A = this chain, B = another copy of it.
Amino acid sequence: MRDAEGAEPDKSRGRRPTMEDVAARAGVSRALVSLVFRGKPGASAATRERVLRAADELGYRPDNAARLLASDRSRTLGVMLTVHQPFHGDLVEGIYPEAERLGYDVLLSATGPGRDERKAVEALLGHRCEALILLGPSAPAEHLDELGRRTVTVVIGRRAPGAHVDTVRTADAKGIRQVVDYLVELGHRDIVHIDGGRAPGAAERRRAYRAAMRRHGLGDALRIIPGDHTDEAGIAAGKTLLAEGRMPTAVLAGNDRCAMGLMHALRSSNVEIPRDLSVVGYDDVHLAHLWPFDLTTVRQNADGLAQHAVRCAVDRLEDGTVPPREILLEPKLVVRGTTGPPPDGRRG
């Protein structure tokens, strides 16, 4: 009965080696092993070598939990993302290398159906992340403010007015203005905006659209179809437009996915893009370049956003006196194949 070791789960796999084991094997103290693994000075080259060899032979791997617990710093950044936003993928790919360069670890936590932002963030905090990087959070500014006062927090992709957080985003207003200017230049007057509803950045894009239209004296032609930053919203908007029977000459979608949904919905109609309708997206997600028609869109500099976000977080972690910043990156209109002059007879 006493020997029923096998019954206990996992005992068979054996305890993994600890720093103590490495120390014993290398014939030094635990503290010295610690020094070596942290790359701190205070160990001779020979000893260092001996320790590393011993560790390697034992298959030793430092235990993060213990390390976290013992040190006051965790050097870990928590990233909240939505696993189905391709643009978030672009951002994550930029965050990893920058964090590594600065000596930080990265933990990802995804939102999704049945897992809201609060839950995702709690998970990160529970793992001792020192700072949070939130990709396009939809939480209200007050909530972000509360978070920001508890932990260093960086928000990517939207404004968070009044909240004690860094924000890193594209100058959306400028991007939208570029699009409207470009469309007007082509001769468009009847330019509709499918907005992003309450999605991150949507409010500002909406505002910028209104302002730009007015600036061109098109205040009357201004029209916003309520939407969202999803394919479904684009499809719905497309159906709406078809049902009305009166197409605008250009549509400025809330983001690329929405633009894609729109084009999808129009696919089986007799509306041809860009002959009858110009369509512009926003984001320039990686996958967009695969579209059968190249989407004209506004590029957000994902790598730039990612790098700035990491640096904001680290700067504030390493110097508690630095206040949160607001960083704006330049958008860039990328003209491809879904835009052109309006059909004859409908010029501005």
Contact = CB atoms under 8 A, between A and B. Distances in A.
A89 interface: yes
A62 B110 contact: no
B65 A286 contact: no
Interface stretch (A124-132, A172-180, A190-198): A124-132
A286 B84 contact: yes
Interface string A1-24: 000001011111100000000000
A253 to B, nearest CB: 13
B320 A13 contact: yes
A292 interface: yes
A114 interface: yes
Interface string A55-94: 0000101111110110000100000000110100100110
Contact of A63 (B9, B123, B126, B260): B126
Given A9-B318, A110-B108, A320-B6, A128 B96 contact: no
A105 interface: yes
**Oligomer: number of copies:** 2
Nearest to A11: B320
Contacts of A289: 231
A11 to B, nearest CB: 7
A66 B264 CA distance: 51
Contact of A317 (B10, B69, B74, B108): B10
B11 A128 contact: no
A46 interface: no
Nearest to A257: B290
A8 to B, nearest CB: 7
A223 B35 CA distance: 59
Interface in A212-266: 231, 257, 260-261, 263-264
A154 to B, nearest CB: 15
Interface in A102-123: 105-110, 112-115, 122-123
Interface in A251-299: 257, 260-261, 263-264, 267, 286-287, 289-293
16 contacts: A9-B319, A9-B320, A61-B126, A64-B65, A64-B126, A64-B128, A83-B92, A83-B93, A84-B286, A86-B287, A92-B112, A93-B113, A106-B123, A264-B291, A267-B292, A292-B293
Interface of A: 6, 8-13, 59, 61-66, 68-69, 74, 83-84, 86, 89, 92-93, 96-97, 100, 105-110, 112-115, 122-123, 125-128, 130, 150-151, 231, 257, 260-261, 263-264, 267, 286-287, 289-293, 317-321
In the A-B complex, the 3 residue pairs with the smallest Cβ-Cβ separation, listed nearest first, are A65-B68, A108-B108, A83-B89
Given A63-B128, A64-B65, 6 more contacts: A6-B320, A8-B320, A61-B122, A69-B69, A84-B93, A264-B291
